[in-house]
Structures are given as structure tokens and as C-alpha cells.
Structure 1
Amino acid sequence: MTGIDSVVLKQAIIHKVGNPTRGEELKLSANQLTLNDEIVRGLLTKYFLNSFNEHEQYHFTHISDVALNEVYNYVSSIFDNPKSFEAQSALLAQFLYAKSTHAKVKEGELYVVHFGEVPFGAEYIEAVGIFKSETRETFLKVFPHGQSLEVAAEDGININKLDKGCLVFKENRADGYVVCVVDATNKQQDAQYWVNDFLQVTPYADSYHNTDKAMGMCKLFISNEMQEKFVVNKSDQIDMLNRSMDYFKTKEQFNMDEFAQEVMYHPEVIDAFTQYKQTYQQAKGVHIEDEFDIHLSAVKKQERVYKSVLKLDKNFHIYIHGRKDLIERGYDDLTGKNYYKLYFDEES
């Protein structure tokens, strides 16, 4: 998140939340943090807010009524009555403790923070943040000892790495607010209790969500699924990834049929891609529209993971940016090795 210099930390409190299945305790703080030190306030603000992508927006949900979502209720009470902050923060900690029963859930500190003047589009509005630190790191502390300097090891929190976070903007209350989420420790694990069990949030079906999820789906299909269903070499996969990226970069709107024709080409590959979309949506619990406006911020995010590098053993890396017709793959009987032949006009 950018433009956080204006943010005001109105209230903040820390509770300790363990895993009840391991006999770890819930320890509630009696008082809020003292926020008199300007440097500490600045460091906390950076730690809490820097990891959020304001374009990735979620909202609270519930199977019956969003008003029955626990976190939604506790946050609403803070917005309505800031004097209830400590009581509501304790309820948030108790609810998280009840949801921390998965074997992979780690003990950690829960921060509940009431912010003012948080950037939201062209405005600055009120927000409530809920953050959990689970990862401890060892730091070296150098200190004077008589006429010399000594070194001691201390455990602490890396303020550049937020483990889990939730930022609730005081906006769109009837629809479950606008919520941004960070979950850095369980992206590839089963213990996604933070998003699914505790917060119970789902993405807004906007252009950013559709662009991000569609590009992620296309990358997985080209990189993994195609290899299982068709005979395809790495250079062909990279060529298709490049065509996919070019589509999202040059078009203003996404159309599933048009994309399939321009990127996939072959009818059997198009059919496999169409079927994969259904499987992907069910597995990820998301819905991707067949037509939507392309969001450039989502394209830039995905561009970082769209690899166009052909790795050959440990000797060569070939960066392929286009012109598939200028690269030729073959096999040399004399050496018993595969080869690539590259055609070019100039070298630099």
C-alpha cells in the first residue's frame, strides 16, 4: 500500500493467541499500547500496511447473512463506538483462538488497530486492522560494555514481513465492507484458517479479480495441464505464455472465446482449456467471468510470474520474447544430445 504517511494510529492493542489443541493459552492484554513515540508509530504503520495490495479487495460473507459474520460484527462495533475498542479486540482474539485448532496453526501475537486517514482511492478514511505475527527471527544486538562492545542474540519480529493481516475500510458496509487481506505463511498449506474460518471473506468480482484469476489459471494450464494432455516442448509452452501475456497487455477487454482462438489455436487444446476452467474454478472456489475489462495492475502483478526462460541443464538460459519461427529444436545422433538452433540478424 502506498501513501501511508498520513495514516493515524488511533488505538492499538496486542493479545497472545495460541493453538488450543497443543495446550497453548489465550492471553488478553488489559490495556492498549502507548503510542507516544513517533518513530515507533511510523515503524508499526509500515509493518502493518506495507504488504497490502489495495487492488485486491474482498468483503465479509456468511452462509445466511453477513450480519452474522463475527469479525464483521466486532469491527462494526469499533466503527460505531470507538470506546468499545478494547472489548471488541478481546472478542476478536477469543474468536481467532477458537478457530486456531488446525495442527499447522502457530502461536503468535494478535494486533488489533484502529486507524484514521487511511488512503482509499482518492479519499482518506477510517479503517480497522487485524494482524497476526507467527514467525520469530533472531537478531544481533550490539551494545556497549565498559570500554568495549558486546553482541547478544534476541528473538523478534521482522517489520518487513507481515505474516497475516486484514484491513477493513469503513466503506460498503451493507455489502460486507471493503477488505484487504494478507496471508503470507499458509499460501500452499491446508491451514488457511485466516481467510476461510476466521475472516470468512470472498473477493469482489471486479475487473482486478477477474484479470488476476484468469491469468493465474492460464499460466497453470499452459505450464502444467498441457504437458499432461499433449506432447509439447518447453519452447512451445513459453511461446504460448508470451501470446497469453501479449493478449492481456494489448486488449482492453477479455473475451474467453477470442482468447482461446488467438492463444491456444488448436481445437483440441481449446476444448481442454475450456474444461480446465471449470475444474480450476471448483478447486479454487472462484468464479471467472467469460468477459470482463482487463485491469492493468493485475497484469503487472502476474507479469512477474510469467516466465519466458528456457533452462537447458545448468549451462544455458534462453530468454524467449517472440518469433517462435526463429527457434528450432532437434536431436544430434552423434553426441546423443538435444539442441536448439536460433536464427538472428545482430548480436549485442
Structure 2
Amino acid sequence: MQNIQLGAISKLIIHNVGNKANDEGTHFADSMTDFVNIEEEVGQLIANNFKFDELFNFHFVPTLDLNPVYQFVKTIFKENSSFIDQSRNCARYLYDKSSHPKIKGGEFCMVYIRNCQVNEVTADALAFIKSENKETILKVTPSGNGFDMHTEKGININKLDKGCLIFNIDPEKGFVAAIVDQTNRSAEAQYWREEFFNLKVINNEFHQTNEFLSITKKFVTSQLPEDFEVTKTEQIGFLNRSVDYFKTHETFDKQGFEQEVFADGNVIESFRKFDNSYRVDNELELADSFEISDRAVKKQAKVFKNVLKLDRNFDIYIKGNRKLIEQGIELDGRKFYKIYYDVES
């Protein structure tokens, strides 16, 4: 996990970027925004929404120097006086990339933050914020001997629609960035990360752990039932053993993982074929040995299904030895499970 503390805001500017497909245009600010009375709230908006487990670099083919936003950011870090001009360049480029009809227009804000702490390094940062959805609040104001109430729309400081936080670290490798995209997760709306910034995930222990557990889950739930006759309890058993391996080891070893989780040579061979194919199809570069990230394990464990649902009557949580549960069919065709246990609580 990264130890990151944000510094003090020194510059802030807001532009409005519409949808290009709908010819909504852009509206540029001529000067920076006065943030004296809102610095705490803007800082809270940034601090509350970014997570730093999965980090990214700027990326571009054939060469990083052809990435427009990378060049704009690089110029700002070198020449602070270019902040307004480069923020306009960023807004223009974002407008060019906002060409899908489902992309919402909104306020585009850039914030310069000084003296952030990233592990043991002190570095400035640039925050990109795009607000697409407004929250409605009820505002109460005095009126004569009573009070009036009316609605106002604004930005929720606890929920960021889109954001990117770029630290002035390793510029030759594409800086270090964290990203947020809460509003658009469909394929056509990945423009924020992939089209506008063109970011590529940093292959750290969190990414390695997270991706390998994802591959294992996909194999057990989709490919394994196609290749072998397996029951739901057996599938849950494989998933539980997968998570247990990552919880009980500090370092991942692919061969050891396969033996502990799958054991059977035919299943291992099937898993290896699926793993290799998945890596190629998704352009993943994963090592066969790496340090395990506890936070990635906790994240993935939440989505690994260990619940056996029986019609609408029963949910059976299978957490341990699957040999303690047996499946059968009565003579009249009714299905049943038999469960063995030592202690009732």
C-alpha cells in the first residue's frame, strides 16, 4: 500500500467542457478561481475519493512523448506560469475525446497541489476533476419572522464523478497517477482513462494479486464446468482454497498455488491453458512469483462466492472442508444436501 498525504492547494481553475457529438462547445475561464473560502472542501473532495492501491503511468504508442495530456502536465510541472494555458489545452483535448453521445458535459477543474508526500518522496501533484452530475440540496434562509426553503444544485464533496491525480514522480516513465471514474463504466465511456489520459496500470503487487485472483475466479466459475463435471460445492471449494492460499502466504508461487488449490493434473493443465489465453487476450503481464498484497486479497475475497443458494428457502455458507457436505437425490426426485458438524452455536 502507498503512503500518500496531499499537500496544500496553490492553483485552481475551472472550465466547462460539453459533448462534442452534440456540439455543446466549451467555455474557458480567463483567470484562476479564488479558492480561499473553499480550500478545505476541495481538499476533502480529492482526499475522500482517491485510492492508491492501483496506480498508473501515462502511456502512448509508439512513444510516450506523443501523449498530449502527458506533455501538458509535463509543461505545467516545469513551468508553473503555464498553468492557465495548459489547462485550456487539456480542456480542448477533453472536448475532442467527448465524442460519444452518452458522455455528459460538465465542469472541468484542474488543481495544483504542492508538497505532497508519496512514501518517502516529496512531490507536487495535479488533480483533474470533472463534475457531470449535480446533487440537489435544500437551503434554508431567514425570511421575516420565519424561514424560507429552496433547492440548489451543486457538487457533492464526498462523491467525485471523474478524477485523476498525477504526482510529479518518474516523469520519464509517465509520472505516477491514481484515477476515479464513478459514472461511466461501459465500454464506450472509457474515454476518461483510455482516450483522454491514456493510462496504463503499474504492475505492482496489488495489480498482480488482484489480476491473478480474477483469473482464478473466472476459470473456476466459467471454464472449469465446461471441461469437467463439477458440483457447485466443488466450485466453491476451489474458490475458498484460492483465497486461503493468498491469505496464508506472503509470496505467490504459481506452481505451488496450482498444487495446493487444484491438485489434479488434468485440472492444472486446463487452468494453465485458460491462464495463458486470458493473459494474451487481455494483454496482461503477470509474473509467476510475486509479493502478495493483503489489500488486494481482502478486495477479491468479498466477491468470491461461497454461498450455495437453494431455491428461495436456504443459503448455505461453505467456508471450509467441502467433504463435510454431501449432495444426493431422494427416490421421489427431490434433491438434498447432508451436512456434518461437531458444534452448534
Q: TM-score by structure 1 length? A: 0.91
SS across alignment from 1:20: coil
Aligned to 1:296: 294
CA spacing shift, 1:325–1:220, aligned 2, 3 Å: same
Aligned to 1:266: 264
Aligned to 1:22: 22
Quote the Cα distance in structure 2 between the aligned partners of 1:86 and 1:241.
51
Aligned to 1:342: 339
Superposed, 1:192-207 pairs within 5 Å as: 192-207=190-205
Superposed, 1:149-228 pairs within 5 Å as: 149-228=147-226
SS across alignment from 1:257: helix
CA positional deviation for 1:76: 1.0
- Tell me, which stretches of 5 or more residues in structure 1 are unaligned? none
Quote the Cα distance in structure 1 between the aligned partners of 2:227 and 2:44.
46
Quote the Cα distance in structure 1 between the aligned partners of 2:334 and 2:10.
66
Tell me if the contact between 1:127 and 1:169 (Cα under 8 Å) persists in the aligned partners.
yes
Q: Cα RMSD between the aligned structures?
A: 2.2
Aligned to 1:140: 138
| Paired residue type of 2:116 | V
| Paired residue type of 1:138 | T
Choose the corresponding residue for 1:72, options 54, 70, 73: 70
| Paired residue type of 1:43 | E
CA positional deviation for 1:97: 0.7
Aligned to 1:128: 126
Quote the Cα distance in structure 2 between the aligned partners of 1:340 and 1:291.
39
Tell me if the contact between 1:309 and 1:318 (Cα under 8 Å) persists in the aligned partners.
yes
Quote the Cα distance in structure 2 between the aligned partners of 1:257 and 1:330.
34
| Paired residue type of 2:17 | V
CA spacing shift, 1:343–1:93, aligned 2, 3 Å: same
SS across alignment from 2:187: coil
CA positional deviation for 1:346: 1.2
SS across alignment from 1:22: coil
Tell me if the contact between 1:208 and 1:297 (Cα under 8 Å) persists in the aligned partners.
yes
Aligned to 2:278: 280
Quote the Cα distance in structure 2 between the aligned partners of 1:109 and 1:322.
51
Which is further off, 110-119 or 265-274?
265-274
CA spacing shift, 1:6–1:272, aligned 2, 3 Å: closer
Aligned to 2:231: 233
SS across alignment from 1:87: helix
SS across alignment from 1:77: helix
CA positional deviation for 1:307: 3.0
SS across alignment from 1:345: coil
Choose the corresponding residue for 2:253, options 255, 273, 276: 255
Quote the Cα distance in structure 2 between the aligned partners of 1:47 and 1:141.
21
Indicate the percent of aligned positions where both proteins have the same amino acid. Answer: 38
Quote the Cα distance in structure 1 between the aligned partners of 2:226 and 2:41.
48
CA spacing shift, 1:228–1:137, aligned 2, 3 Å: farther
Aligned to 1:246: 244
| Paired residue type of 1:172 | D
SS across alignment from 2:221: helix
Per-residue deviation, residues 228-257 of structure 1 (Å, max 9, x unmatched): 443322222211111000111112222222
Quote the Cα distance in structure 2 between the aligned partners of 1:146 and 1:4.
49
Tell me if the contact between 1:2 and 1:50 (Cα under 8 Å) persists in the aligned partners.
no
CA positional deviation for 1:226: 2.5
CA positional deviation for 1:2: 9.2
Quote the Cα distance in structure 2 between the aligned partners of 1:274 and 1:254.
16
Choose the corresponding residue for 2:321, options 320, 323, 330: 323
CA positional deviation for 1:6: 5.6
Per-residue deviation, residues 119-151 of structure 1 (Å, max 9, x unmatched): 311344211111212223333333334334443
Tell me if the contact between 1:7 and 1:45 (Cα under 8 Å) persists in the aligned partners.
no
CA positional deviation for 1:160: 2.0
Per-residue deviation, residues 77-133 of structure 1 (Å, max 9, x unmatched): 111111111111100011111111123322122111101132311344211111212
- Tell me, which stretches of 5 or more residues in structure 2 are unaligned? none
**Length, aligned pairs only:** 345
Quote the Cα distance in structure 2 between the aligned partners of 1:151 and 1:328.
63
CA spacing shift, 1:279–1:138, aligned 2, 3 Å: farther
Q: TM-score by structure 2 length? A: 0.92
Aligned to 1:112: 110
CA spacing shift, 1:265–1:6, aligned 2, 3 Å: closer
CA positional deviation for 1:163: 1.9
1:42 paired to 2:36: no
Choose the corresponding residue for 2:61, options 57, 60, 63: 63
Quote the Cα distance in structure 2 between the aligned partners of 1:283 and 1:293.
24
Tell me if the contact between 2:123 and 2:167 (Cα under 8 Å) persists in the aligned partners.
yes
**Stretches of 4+ moved more than 6 A in 1?**
1-5
Tell me if the contact between 1:99 and 1:197 (Cα under 8 Å) persists in the aligned partners.
yes
CA positional deviation for 1:271: 2.5
SS across alignment from 1:328: strand
Aligned to 1:33: 33
Quote the Cα distance in structure 1 between the aligned partners of 2:232 and 2:316.
11
